A and B are shown apart, each in its own frame.
Chain A
Amino acid sequence: MLPAFRNGEKVLVNRLSYLFGKPKAGDVVVIRHQKDIIKRIAKVEKGKVFVVGDNGNKSTDSRNFGWIKMEKIVGKVVMKI
């Protein structure tokens, strides 16, 4: 997720964020897709999100694997530690 996040950086993820609030474009989230991956939400539709990496064309994201169901969101990245 360059340039916002670099390899090895620790982030704090709030697993409860979307129990009370709704995801919005620009949120950085951890989603479960094969494994836990970190991406930024680009678009939100009912029950699903379209996520992209910050690293432009080098990123593998919703452009490859499509929309992600809301329940696949592990949590919202709230801060770098």
Chain B
Amino acid sequence: MVRSLLRIFVNLLPTKIAYAHCDVPCGIYDPKPAQIAAATVLKMVEKIQALPQANADDKNSVNNYYNSLVRYVFTKEEHAGKCKEEILILWTDYFKPEHLGKFPNLHDKFWETAKLCSVNKQEVSLQHAKELVQAVAEIAEIFQKSKETSQK
């Protein structure tokens, strides 16, 4: 009874939404996870290429070969996806229109890097994996410069 009266009273009070998350303006942005993911993709490509052929007559050897191959491919796939996700967060949430003045190639750089993530999913290519690591390193550099600029 008291509670329902209170509820009626409270409904008359002005209410505002209090959020539990302050969301983007307070978010932590860091290119490190993308760099680690890109480095992992490169490592997996190296491991796939270095994987010794299985002995076709030895079932155990064949099983181990496929087990390792699948694990490497799975990890490559996972980290290429993670890399893409991380750089998209930087691109869409961290960077703002005012950054474009200082970094005019910003959109192209992110777009190409995101595409490189997909290429690395599709292929086992040392060259493309190295290009991804390089592209993410360049994004990290842009990120760092943007931080220095905003602190001045």
Binding site for B on A (CB under 8 A): 1-2, 5, 7, 10-13, 30, 33-39, 53, 55, 59-60, 64-65, 74, 81
Contact = CB atoms under 8 A, between A and B. Distances in A.
Say whether chain A's binding surface is mostly helix, strand, loop, or mixed.
mixed
B22 A60 contact: yes
Contact of B27 (A13, A39, A60): A60
B56 interface: no
B130 to A, nearest CB: 34
The 6 A-B residue pairs with the shortest CB-CB distance, nearest first, are A38-B18, A36-B18, A65-B26, A30-B18, A1-B20, A34-B25
A59 B10 CA distance: 28
Say whether chain B's binding surface is mostly helix, strand, loop, or mixed.
loop
Contact of A11 (B7, B18, B22): B18
25 contacts: A1-B20, A5-B20, A10-B15, A11-B18, A12-B10, A30-B18, A33-B22, A33-B26, A34-B26, A35-B19, A35-B22, A36-B16, A37-B18, A37-B22, A38-B19, A38-B20, A53-B21, A60-B21, A60-B22, A60-B26, A60-B27, A64-B26, A65-B22, A65-B26, A81-B7
Interface size class of B (residues with CB under 8 A): 10 to 19
Contact of B20 (A12, A59, A64, A81): A59
Interface of B: 6-7, 10, 15-23, 25-28
Nearest to B15: A10
A37 B20 contact: yes
